[in-house]
Amino acid sequence: MTLVTNLEMDEKGMTVPYPSLFDDIRKNHGFMDVRGRPDLASQIAEGLQSSAMRNLLIKLAQPDSKLFSLGCDVGTKHLEEEKLPYSAGGYIQIMNATYAHRSPEDYARFAEAVAKMLENDLKATIGVCIFTLRQCP
Residue type, 58: I
Predicted local confidence at residue 1, as pLDDT: 47
Predicted local confidence at residue 37, as pLDDT: 96
* CB neighbour burial string for 31-61, b if at least 16 within 10 angstroms, e if fewer: bbebbeeeeebeebebbeebeebbebbbebb
In the beta sheet, which residues pair with residue 22? Answer: 27
- Parallel, antiparallel or unpaired: strands 4-10 and 128-134: parallel
Residue 135 or residue 118, greater confidence = 118
pLDDT tens-digit readout, 77-127: 777 776 777 777 788 888 888 888 888 888 888 888 887 877 776 655 556
Compute the CA torsion angle 45, 49, 53, 54 (nearest 10 deg). Answer: 60
Specify the range with the lowest mean pLDDT, choosing from 20-34, 53-67, 102-116, 118-132: 118-132
